[in-house]
Amino acid sequence: MGRQVLLIEDEPNIIEAIRFILSRDGWDVKTHSNGVDAVDAVRARMPDVIILDVMLPGKSGFDILTEIRGDAALAQMPVLMLTARGQTKDREMAERAGASHYMTKPFSNAEILETVRQLVVT
């Protein structure tokens, strides 16, 4: 079975771009588009890596990440925070919440692919 990414993102263009980039590299990309039941989706899928948007309907990515890190079964799962918010305070919030990596939009195809690969190796 291939490596699986769970992309928690609500913008269709970003979903399609990331799905294309990672699928071409052999990743199985599953998507989820709201914050309310995002952690349930993580538990159901148990992906190798999560790409998590910060601004989601229903619950913020920071709250979702805090919940993931508080669950013993999910706590070690790599999480790439992806956001249009690139201010230092946002990056610091992501680090405090336990993000494995933080990336701002727009991103390059090579950057997202390399980061996801690194998160699974480490």
Q: Is the pLDDT score of 85 beyond 90?
A: no
| Confidence band for 2, pLDDT divided at 50, 70 and 90 | low
- Tokens in use for 78? 């790599």
Q: Which of 50, 17, 39 is nearest to 119 (CA)?
A: 50
Structural domains of the chain, ranges and CATH numbers in brackets: 4-121 (3.40.50.2300)
56-74 tens-digit pLDDT: 999 999 999 999 999 999 9
pTM of this structure: 0.95
Helix axes 12-24, 109-121, angle to 10 degrees: 60
